[in-house]
Amino acid sequence: MKPKVYIRADGSQIIGLGHLVRCSALAYMLKEDFEITFYCKEVPDTVIAELDDSGFSCCKIENEDEFLSQLNGNTIAVLDGYAFDTGYQKQVKATGSKLVCIDDLHDKEFFADLIINHAPGITPQDYKTQPYTQFALGFEYALLRPAFLEQAKKQRTIDKIEAVMICYGGSDPKNLTQSTLQVAMKFPQFKKIIVVIGSTYQTTASFNRLIASDSRIDRRHALNEQQMLDTMLEAELVIVPASGILFEVLAAGCIAISGSYIDNQKFVYENFRNAGIFVDAGNFLYKNLYDAVSKVLDGSINQVRFIDGQTAIKVSKLFDQLQKEFLINLRRASTADLDLTFGWAANPEIRRFSFHQHQIIKPEHTNWFLKKTIDSNCYYFIVEYNRVPIGSIRFDIEEGEAMISYLLDPSYHGRGFGQLILKKGIEWLMIVNMPELAPIRVISGEVMKTNIPSIKVFERLGFVKKEQMENYKFEKWV
């Protein structure tokens, strides 16, 4: 039986379908290894049918208790929506589930085990989280539907711009579709102007007259995934807001003009703009749009590839780690572990990344080990996976600093267990046993600059890296 992932997201005419589109993209990435169920208060019947056709269940709920009651210590819960505040996240964690938050605002404290934010320029320091929270940030975690992920793997070269696509999705309450179309019609360089409107867009008589007035205009309505991609591939230039569709435009290899007109687009817009990823149209006023199109047609914009299409592999590994975490257990080291820990300490692969690289002998290790197990300022654990010892983690506490030392049995290298050891250790330190500890201000770890796997482990958990002679010191203030 496949492990379960429960996704809580909504979509409607008012709030749009962005959260559901993102989550359906995630579901496709996970469907080979997980059983996926969506829980929604608001969801169009057409979306329920699409999810059902894709092999996903969709349960309409009346209240949040219906979702929370399904969670337990063997499930992964995914939240994507602006209403799922800190208190709600605590309720999810209280069920024993692992919690994944898909976020683009970083506007609250998070209790997630994993945060996914595919906008550029975001760092762990932009978030207020728990010390055990892992991060999957930036374009390499772009949540795109399968067709767009496949397209992102292909090379597309644009030599000249003859077609433009305009799409504001959903209902477009400010009718930016029409005003943008009026700008595009001013440029004779466009041989085709494709206008894509959503299923809830309210056409007007003036809009219909505009469409009929120019033979270059091709209006398309409520496109599915493949139709949307094919349309983008017809156009060299695409004008869209700084929302989920912008990622699809970049995956399709188009040149993008973008901007922001509602608050929840602000952070994505600013980070994309600062990275120079699109041509800026600001708030989509007429002059801003006209200047942006002129800039593109002047030939001053270079086509750059940002999304590599490898997200599914990376995201699947992260969820596999979360599932493995249910089988990870920490127990205090005892004298019965002397031979086990000596075997690890003497292993050449482990010695290679140790600060003291001389060959360890048994009496030396015995003396050190027995002192550590009785030191009141040392918390020393054996880490077990499915009841089999796979490594150890130790916290040496001094003046408010918890210094980490951990190791992983070499037979488990390359499978993500280093991340699990560190995360579970920090979770114990901050949650399970915090009441009996002296106040801890900072958690830290020192890593050799050649130890790339450990460096990545600390970085994914949001530690700040500092130079310390030939090593790095990683710190996380709590």
User: What tens digit of pLDDT does each residue of 59-75 get?
Assistant: 999 999 999 999 999 99
Ranges for all domains in the chain classified under CATH 3.40.50.11190: 4-143
- Report the distance separating Cα 175 and Cα 206, nearest Å: 11
- The fourth-level CATH superfamily of domain 148-297 is Glycogen Phosphorylase B; (3.40.50.2000)
Note the pLDDT of residue 41: 94
- Which residue from 340, 307, 372 is spatially nearest to 138, judged by alpha carbons? 307
pLDDT in tens, 32-43: 999 999 999 999
pLDDT-above-90 percentage for the chain:
73
The answer to whether the beta carbons of residues 425 and 382 sit under 8 Å apart is no
Condensed to tens digits (0 to 9), the pLDDT of residues 3-49 reads 999 999 998 766 678 889 899 999 999 999 999 999 999 998 888 98
Q: Determine the Cα–Cα distance for residues 104 and 64; give it in Å rounded to an integer.
A: 22
Q: Which fold is adopted by the domain 4-143? A: Rossmann fold (3.40.50)
Question: Is 435's pLDDT higher than 60?
Answer: no
Span(s) in the chain for CATH 3.40.50.2000: 148-297
Band the pLDDT of 436: cuts 50, 70, 90: low
Whole-number pLDDT of residue 198:
82
Per DSSP bridges, beta strands 75-80 and 98-102 are: parallel
User: What is the pLDDT averaged over residues 239-265?
Assistant: 91
pLDDT tens for 407-429 read: 999 999 988 899 999 999 999 88
Look at residue 239 and tell me whether its pLDDT is greater than 60: yes
Spatial strand order in the sheet of 114-117? 57-60, 35-40, 4-9, 75-80, 98-102, 114-117, 134-137
Average pLDDT over the chain, rounded to an integer: 92
Compare 200 and 168 and report the one with higher pLDDT: 168
Query: Is residue 433 over pLDDT 80?
Result: no
What pLDDT does 305 receive?
75
Q: Where in the chain is the domain with CATH 3.40.630.30?
A: 328-477
Confidence at 262, pLDDT banded by 50, 70, 90: confident
At residue 13, the pLDDT reads 61
Least confident of 40-54, 184-198, 359-373, 454-468: 40-54
The pLDDT of residue 465 is above 60 = yes
Instruction: Say if residue 204's pLDDT is above 70.
Output: yes
Q: What is the pLDDT of residue 12?
A: 73
Residue 263 — very low, low, confident or very high, per pLDDT cuts 50/70/90? confident
CATH class of domain segment(s) 328-477: alpha beta
Kindly provide the b/e burial profile for residues 114-138, where b requires at least 16 CB atoms within 10 angstroms of the residue's own CB: bbbbbbbbbebeebebbbbbbbbbb
Q: Examine the pLDDT at 301 and tell me if it is beyond 80.
A: no
* Res 45: pLDDT: 86
Structure tokens at 362: 């048994």
